[in-house]
């Protein structure tokens, strides 16, 4: 049987859907750091944005690769956070290191620092829609896990508007109007059920 390392990304997403019912691949993606193939087009252009990266952004992206290796392969989250902090210091206007450092903080269960970095990544991500979508999803899941359903709904909705199908599904699940309707219907069904049993 294949080990996790031998599974394709798609296979891992399917397994994540099975084991994280209701969360789907969004939770799978949020549970790992991401860096898209910087320079894959041969022009030194980050495929997450439609412009060439500056020299400082390229250096920061290189540090991200190093940090992701430290976090994923070595499970050295402290080192990964330090490397990502260096990337943030080198290029404070580049949103991706904030998003990935937030992920490291989340893995260390330091959710307040994660939220601060996600807020910053979102604020800086106007030119980086993929980073914006990732940061919104990550912040939504943190808020959802804390029971902050209404603010999580807004983040899921925004990420869904940027093309994330699972975020759209979670936005529907968290929608306060849908929950209100569900509560009303549930109450009506309970009254109907108990009124019939009271007659017996």
Tell me the domain boundaries of the chain: 1-31, 36-199
CB-CB neighbours of 178 under 10 Å: 13
Residue pLDDT, tens place only, 151-173: 999 999 999 998 888 888 888 88
Q: Is 88 exposed, middle or buried (0-12, 13-18, 19+ CB in 10 A)?
A: buried
Distance of CA 181 to the CA centre of its chain: 28
pLDDT above 50 (res 98): yes
**CA-closest candidate to residue 64, choices 42, 50, 46:** 46
For residue 110, give both structure tokens. Answer: 């330091």
The DSSP annotation for 100-127 comes to HHHHHHHHTT-HHHHHHHHHHHHHHGGG
Query: What is residue 141's three-state secondary structure?
Result: helix
Whether the CB-CB separation of 30 and 142 falls below 8 Å is answered with no
% of the chain with per-residue pLDDT over 90: 42
CATH, range 36-199: 1.25.40.10
Distance CA 79, CA 61 (A): 16
48: pLDDT confidence band, cut at 50, 70 and 90?
low
Q: Look over the chain and give the mean of its residue pLDDT values, rounded to a whole number.
A: 78
pTM, 2 dp: 0.68
72: pLDDT confidence band, cut at 50, 70 and 90?
confident
Of 23-32, 34-43, 72-81, give the range with the top mean pLDDT: 72-81
Of 10-19, 108-117, 125-134, give the range with the top mean pLDDT: 108-117
């Amino acid at each position: 049987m294949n080990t996790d390392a031998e599974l394709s990304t798609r296979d891992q997403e399917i397994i994540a859907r099975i084991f994280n019912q209701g969360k789907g691949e969004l939770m799978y993606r949020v549970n790992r750091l991401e860096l898209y193939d910087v320079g894959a087009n041969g022009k030194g252009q980050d495929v997450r944005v439609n412009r060439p990266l500056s020299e400082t952004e390229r250096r920061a992206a290189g540090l991200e690769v190093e940090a992701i290796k430290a976090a994923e392969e070595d499970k050295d989250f402290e080192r990964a956070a330090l490397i990502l902090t260096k990337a943030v210091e080198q290029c404070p206007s580049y949103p991706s290191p904030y998003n990935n450092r937030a992920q490291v903080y989340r893995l260390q269960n330091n959710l307040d620092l994660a939220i601060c970095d996600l807020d910053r990544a979102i604020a800086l991500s106007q030119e980086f829609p993929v980073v914006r979508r990732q940061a919104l999803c990550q912040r939504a899941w943190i808020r959802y896990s804390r029971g902050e359903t209404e603010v999580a709904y807004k983040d899921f909705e925004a990420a869904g508007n940027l093309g994330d199908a699972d975020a759209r599904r979670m936005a529907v699940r968290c929608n306060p109007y849908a929950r209100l309707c569900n509560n009303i219907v549930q109450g009506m069904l309970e009254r109907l059920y108990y009124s019939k049993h009271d007659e017996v």
